[in-house]
Amino acid sequence: MKAAKNPYFLEDKTMLITGSSRGIGAATARLAKQYGAEVILHGRTESEPLKLLAKELDSKYIFCDAADEKAVKKAVGNLEVEVLVNNAGINPSKTFMDLTGEDWKRIYDVNVFGPVYFSQAVIPRMLERGQGKIINISSAKSHNHVRGKPAYASAKAALNRLTTSMAEEFAPHILVNAVAPGFADTEMVEKTLSPVIRAQIDNIPLKRMASADEMAETVLFLASDKANYITGHVLSVDGGFSIVSG
């Protein structure tokens, strides 16, 4: 798909995108920059891909473990963030009996508490300005039961409820929504490709995975003024996966 030159008019927006060293986060950062936004990148560590992307986009970057409350607060500091995209996430594939207590804790720490800590770090200044947007990256696996993902799916379901709770608490000033991807062609999927996942992908009504750019377009729509009457919504971008799963 060829991106339109600037359909979203993001010129006046500063966006912090967590987990933007690669995958959906990096695609969102590239497209946001193309559409005029000021982008602040984030990665877990100061990795080469993060530094290279920052150079490519002439953008600031921060790095910290999203699961470390103090580190998040320090890394965000006094940054002025108009749109926060809580995208950093992990998706280990383990069955219920294989998941250790440490696995459960880590999956919830990164996928649920990460968005909590980043949101807490930017919300005070959003409230001072009287406006802001937060977009949480959930998963289609949060909607219906999908085999083999007890910790990840339940963590993303928690993120959906966090999205609606925050949307109510911070209305009318901060709009809070989520995007629920089905399968997007990133390292995350590549790493977890198993016969079960392969079968799930084959079953998608649109018969393919999304590109990371297709996720980015939806995130940027929600970030833009075109979506100023949408809050508390979890938007599926899954080629129909959630119609046929569960």
Ligand X SMILES: NC(=O)c1ccc[n+]([C@@H]2O[C@H](COP(=O)([O-])OP(=O)(O)OC[C@H]3O[C@@H](n4cnc5c(N)ncnc54)[C@H](OP(=O)(O)O)[C@@H]3O)[C@@H](O)[C@H]2O)c1
Residues engaged in binding ligand X (CB under 6 A): 19-25, 43-45, 47, 65-67, 87-91, 110, 137, 139, 181, 183-184, 186-189
CB of 40 to ligand X, least distance (A): 13
> Whose structure tokens read 């280990």?
92
Cα distance between residue 195 and residue 229, in whole Å: 41
- For ligand X, the closer CB: 127 or 199: 199
Contact between 181 and 133 (Cβ < 8 Å)? no
Active site residue 152: yes
- For ligand X, the closer CB: 77 or 172: 77
Q: At what angle do helices 150-170 and 101-108 cross, to 10 degrees?
A: 30
Contact between 35 and 220 (Cβ < 8 Å)? yes
**Per annotation, catalytic residue among 35, 108, 152, 229:** 152
CB of 128 to ligand X, least distance (A): 26
- For ligand X, the closer CB: 87 or 163: 87
CB of 12 to ligand X, least distance (A): 26
Nearest-10 Cα torsion for 115, 117, 118, 122: 130
Q: Return the active site residues.
A: 152
